[in-house]
Amino acid sequence: QRVSRPGAAYETSRRTIDALALGLAGTAGAHAWEASTRYDDNSQFGGRDNASIAYAYALAPAWRVGGSAGTSFVAPSFNQLYFPGFGNPLLQPEEGRHGEAYVRWDGAATTARLTAWRHRYRGFITSGQNPVNLPRATVQGATLAVDQRWDGGLLQASLDHTDPRNTTTGSANEHRLLPRRAERVLRVAADQRIGPWSFGTTLLASSHRYDDAANLVRMGGHATVDLRAERAISPGLTAALALNN
């Protein structure tokens, strides 16, 4: 069933997406590359083309630099469109252009990676209740990630520094932070295997953010801790228990 609305494609209780993708990857000496393209035919929002390309170069056995660029297309979910008291049936798809550059070091038991990235959006879909499309938005920043391995164990830590801004020229909220986007996020995860058992925990800490586009309603920073345990019963069967905060 379809119901026409001004400014929206139509309301529907069903959506079909047909896609065709093509990818190519290769290496030659210290060089590595990957390219892909994809066409999506969305029964509600029409057809879209997207593509990406990535390249990496090994400076030395332990050092690698690289970068990537690409485009994206995200259709609003049914909840974002139609959920009572929450959705906005006038939402349109979000389109993005993305780029990143990184340097990576691989040691015997340690891996470290520093990445700088920038995402530019047209029709950015805001988070939370009554989402809207922002004409322009930019999210850029850097991520430092370190993995440390030992016998039966793994420690992973990452720190994101993000600058998420409304970049719609002439908007009352131009240059303000995007709603519900924290500027700093720390994630630390540790896992240890002991015989058939595996135990793990994850700490996620986030700085403050704002609940509104005008940055008047401040939401305090927070931290959560998750716990998990697994036991291998047989080579193809594992029992798991997780306590998520």
Average pLDDT, the chain: 93
CA distance 208 to 180: 9
Identify the CA nearest to 175 among candidates 184, 183, 166, 185.
Answer: 166
Q: What digits encode the pLDDT tens for the residues 7-62?
A: 444 556 788 999 999 999 999 999 999 999 999 999 999 999 999 999 999 999 99
For residue 128, the model assigns a pLDDT of: 84
Q: Report the 10 Å Cβ neighbour count for 112.
A: 15
The CB-based long-range contact list for 196-204 (8 Å cut-off, 24+ gap) reads 196/231, 196/232, 196/233, 197/229, 197/230, 197/231, 198/229, 198/230, 198/231, 198/232, 199/228, 199/229, 200/227, 200/228, 200/229, 201/225, 201/226, 201/227, 201/228, 202/226, 202/228
| Residue pLDDT, tens place only, 168-202 | 999 999 999 999 999 999 999 999 999 999 999 99
Cα–Cα distance measured from residue 143 to residue 67, given in angstroms and rounded to the nearest whole number: 14
State the maximum Cα–Cα separation within the chain, in Å, rounded to a whole number: 62
Give the residue, 169 or 3, on which the prediction is more confident: 169
Measured in whole angstroms, the distance separating CA 153 from the mean position of its chain's CA atoms is: 26
* Verdict on whether the full-model pTM lies above 0.95: no
